[in-house]
Amino acid sequence: MGGTQNTAQNTAVMQKTLKSVISCTGIGLHSGDKVSMTLHPAAVNTGIVFRRTDVAGEGVEIPAAYHQVVDTLMCTTLGAKGKTIGTVEHLMAALAGAGVDNALIEVGGAEVPVMDGSAAPFLFLIECAGVVEQDAPRKAIRVLKSVSVVDGEKMASLVSADGFSLDFKIDFSSPIIGAQAMTLGMTNGNFKDEIARARTFGFLHEAEMLWAAGLAKGASLDNAVVVSGDKVLNEDGMRFDDECVRHKILDAIGDLYLAGAPILGHYSGDRSSHALNNALLRELFANPENYEIVEMTDADTRSKVLQGGSSWTKKNVAASPAMA
């Protein structure tokens, strides 16, 4: 990467934004509404900012920040000035995976379009727009002290580590999903190759209850993996044998990017959720001794936790909430 020498060995990593403007249109997973979205370049230190273009006047701008999260039921929703923008986690994961620090995201509704239920379409958009370095060093949040949050059998934690890495475990009573675990070091290419294509998933009986309650109106086999008994209803089946835990890692990457900068540390999730991921960030930032803001070097992009692969077993265990 470009930039000035930080030490004799390590080169400074610079902030990045989009090279050009790019747009897409899709369906809101929970609203069922057709939504247009446009990604714009932004100046250094802007961060990721959402703008609701369907709101009268100049629109409402909502920073992509952990303290702006107002709802975590079924998705991560940000809010400001009485307006919200929901289902931001897949797009945030794509921006994190592409290393985009600054962007303005204009959305013509209250929800980011779900596309195919993964981050891959958003990553494709970013690659089509192009990514350019900016004339300012990239900041990162280095974890100094371990923090964790627990909710019953669910847990999420951050510990000090080189680079950024994650591990995640899920347990479902479904014979299709069962118990899955994965460890991933976020080195170059890993997000695109291992995580981006993993889709959101859920069980048919729960989807039917949501539809009956007027929720998840846009959910379909086009944008979610749907499991019924011992069958995957999607004609093409799973993209990975362990697609579900990979999607949970995708969600965690998106939720954690709401920290406002990349995290340098190791994340562990055991049946974690959007709510627990947000609670973890709030716990991290509750004490200034837990972290420090640093300028990134290329050494920070090389996680010492390499791709650990995944373990995948089918067994009957306690079920977790399914729509993820």
Domain boundaries, the chain: 14-137, 139-313
274 is catalytic: yes
What pLDDT sits at residue 238?
Answer: 97
What pLDDT sits at residue 56?
Answer: 80
State pLDDT tens for residues 207-220: 898 888 888 899 99
For tokens 């510990």, name the residue: 159
What tokens does 295 get? 């300028």
What pLDDT sits at residue 304?
Answer: 59
Q: Which CATH architecture best describes the domain 139-313?
A: 2-Layer Sandwich (3.30)
Strands laid side by side in the 83-85 sheet: 69-71, 77-80, 83-85
Of the residues 30, 40, 247, 274, only one is catalytic, namely: 274
What pLDDT sits at residue 59?
Answer: 77
Q: What is the CATH number of domain 14-137?
A: 3.30.230.20
Burial class (CB in 10 A: 0-12, 13-18, 19+), 229: exposed
Contact between 163 and 301 under an 8 Å Cβ cutoff? The reply is: yes
Q: Do the domains spanning 14-137 and 139-313 agree at the CATH topology level?
A: no
What pLDDT sits at residue 324?
Answer: 58
CA distance 13 to 170: 34
Q: How are beta strands 231-232 and 225-228 bridged, if at all?
A: antiparallel
CA distance 269 to 244: 13
Q: Which residues of the chain have pLDDT under 70?
A: 1-9, 303-324
Contact between 181 and 168 under an 8 Å Cβ cutoff? The reply is: yes
What pLDDT sits at residue 5?
Answer: 40
What pLDDT sits at residue 305?
Answer: 56
What pLDDT sits at residue 300?
Answer: 87
CA distance 80 to 62: 6
261: nearest Cα among 90, 97, 47, 76: 47
Q: What is the DSSP letter of 142?
A: E
**Residue type at position 188:** N
Q: How are beta strands 225-228 and 77-80 bridged, if at all?
A: unpaired
Contact between 236 and 118 under an 8 Å Cβ cutoff? The reply is: no
What pLDDT sits at residue 313?
Answer: 44
What is the pTM (predicted TM-score) of this model?
0.91
